Amino acid sequence: MKYSVSANIREVNFPPISEVQGWLRHRRNPDEALIDLCQAVPSYPPAPQLVQYLHTLLDEPELARYSPDEGLAEVREILCRHYHRIYSGHVQPEEVCLTIGASQAFWLAMVTLCQPGDEVIVQVPYYFDHVMALDILGVRSVFVPFDEESGGIPSPRAISSRITARTRAILLVSPSNPTGFVTPSEILGEIFSLARKNDIALVLDETYAAFIPGGARPHALFAEPRWADHFIHLTSFGKTFALTGYRAGVLVASEEFLHHALKAQDSMVVCAPRITQHAIAYGVEHLGEWVVANREMMQRRHDLFVAEFTQGSNPFRLVASGSFFAWVRHPFTGHTGRQVARLLAEEASLLVLGGESFGPGLTAYLRIALGNLSDERIPEAVQRFRDFPL
């Protein structure tokens, strides 16, 4: 290659899931059944009635055309009713933008909010794609360290101490990817008040909110007066409706913010695919019971994994968990999480991610994703951790 790439992107780490999958060709026993605990996606297919509904749309010429940049008006209206049901909040169609996955929603928010040299406060452990994006954009991540004793509860005091004149936003993920921990509503309220006091944004990624145990309301921020002045929400209905390949994201922010974000939207992607927008609308209106059943199934899977993992002697120690994730401390002094993850892949056919993919100071940890792990395979997966030689 004769031309050069930018210095910013050259310094960014390669996507960790892609790296881990590349280790498979070095497995000691390639015939051993692979247990994939790496990528946090639903293992089950979309609801049959949703698939059938999408088939009925394929002959419609409009389906192949652009929609408005922000998405179809009727879909955004349906989403507003959804937000009222889930959050008891008040969201207007002009405050909703359909995006190509939650990742594009995040990019859209950051390029609208920040310029190179600005700062975003990032709670550790973070979702790695977020910091990769900030690094590429030249935005400085200011890290709030992980506190193992609290299980990862964000500290408003620690966050407040990191706010400077360059701070543009506080970034949180709840439920957390990688720990599964759900930030309590009252803590989110405190952090929102902190953002409002300092005239910055709270950016909250709620990709796994449909899997909060018991279907509890994630927070009350949408019921706050003038919530849109200091709150930016993004999520992925790809996880909710098992449509990850459809790239079903949503960005919710003030009408004024989205007016400017649509400049970037038009230059990035123009609009989300119509078929994805229709899938979201159908799911929100018709798949409530299906979503609840899958939430309960994932909770049972999580509870079974935790029970198996924590009984008896296990050199790997559970630190935090929830729905799709388990965050564990590995027993190998002197080894990074990445090194241990590679050993697990090559020697035990277990795919996990090393803790350092999720922030500084996390080499002692591993992320386990439970989405691909059926109930029947949980004992075997746990036994491979137990049997792994120290």
Going from the N-terminus, what domains does the chain have, and what CATH number goes with each? 7-45+290-387 (3.90.1150.10), 65-286 (3.40.640.10)
What is residue 51's predicted lDDT score, i.e. its pLDDT? 97
Integer Cα distance of 353 and 382 in angstroms: 16
204-255 pLDDT tens trace: 999 999 999 998 999 999 999 999 999 999 999 999 999 999 999 999 999 9
Strand 96-100 relative to strand 248-252, pairing = antiparallel
Mean predicted lDDT score pLDDT of the chain: 94
Q: Which pair of tokens denotes residue 93?
A: 């169609």
Are the CB atoms for 107 and 265 separated by under 8 Å?
no
Contact partners, residue 189, CB within 8 Å, separation at least 6:
219, 220, 221
- Extract the residue ranges of the chain whose pLDDT is less than 70: 1
Integer Cα distance of 243 and 200 in angstroms: 33
**CA nearest to 143, candidates 356, 339, 317, 324:** 356
Integer Cα distance of 148 and 137 in angstroms: 30
φ, ψ of residue 327 to 5 degrees: the values are -115, 115
Q: Which residue shows structure tokens 């899938």?
A: 279
Hey, what long-range contacts does 258-261 have (CB within 8 A, 24 or more apart)? 258/70, 258/94, 258/95, 258/96, 258/97, 260/112, 261/97, 261/108, 261/109, 261/112
